[in-house]
Chains A and B, each alone.
Chain A
Amino acid sequence: DSGVTQTPKHLITATGQRVTLRCSPRSGDLSVYWYQQSLDQGLQFLIQYYNGEERAKGNILERFSAQQFPDLHSELNLSSLELGDSALYFCASSVDNSGRPSSYNEQFFGPGTRLTVL
């Protein structure tokens, strides 16, 4: 158990709909990362937040957005869903080391949310 929790575990919805995925980081971790992993694909970095502020953006679609709240939990919002958005969405957290790049931070991953768009 990494200490990172994600809800829900599974989500089935229809094209055109909007969903929200939730992540609670490990206690004390200030950074949250979101990743997308399509079937048999690698991990695509979406976005990172640090203490409520956006720190880095990856290949995140405009239909997707995220935020980190004052209690440090994070939500990933996916809208106008398409079939191709079906994937595993992982959240990770880390203790952010000031002055070092994100590649330095050991990330702890949650169990993921499996999204199926029908």
Chain B
Amino acid sequence: LAKTTQPISMDSYEGQEVNITCSHNNIATNDYITWYQQFPSQGPRFIIQGYKTKVTNEVASLFIPADRKSSTLSLPRVSLSDTAVYYCLVGDPSGGYNKLIFGAGTRLAVHP
């Protein structure tokens, strides 16, 4: 059974860079790694996705090492509005091609 592991919580200050790592030891060779952001009482929202190496968009970067057993979401210069829960998402190879597993989530608190 695939499993993902993330830190339960993190604290940061405005303007700092935040890195959140997710471990996914049993990721399938064709699987993608996706990160979502969730605010209270809202549905999650897509942040970034990657397969290997580094991906960058206007809000974040995603670093994936060669063995793909982990991934790190990097949020540059966080602001108070980045306070949210961040989830990694991968597929579960034990469940066939398309079964999905979200990590337990990392609760990020950004302080002034």
Contact = CB atoms under 8 A, between A and B. Distances in A.
Contacts of A90: 43-44
Nearest to B105: A42
Contacts of B101: 45
Contact of B45 (A33, A100, A109): A109
A45 B105 contact: no
Contacts of B31: 101, 103
A60 B66 CA distance: 33
A6 to B, nearest CB: 9
A111 to B, nearest CB: 6
A14 interface: no
Interface residues of A, number: 28
B43 A2 contact: yes
Nearest to B100: A45
- Most interface-central of A43, A92, A104, A110 (chain B CB within 10 A): A43
A103 B34 contact: yes
Give the contact-size bracket for chain B.
20 to 34
Nearest to A44: B102
Interface in B36-56: 36, 41-46, 49
A47 B24 CA distance: 21
Interface string A36-71: 000001111100100000011110000000000000
A20 to B, nearest CB: 19
B20 interface: no
Contacts of A7: none
Contact of B99 (A45, A104, A109): A45
Contact of A42 (B45, B87, B98): B87
A35 B95 CA distance: 16
9 contacts: A2-B43, A44-B102, A56-B99, A57-B99, A90-B44, A103-B91, A103-B100, A104-B49, A106-B49
Interface of A: 2, 4, 33, 35, 41-45, 48, 55-58, 90, 92, 100-104, 106-112
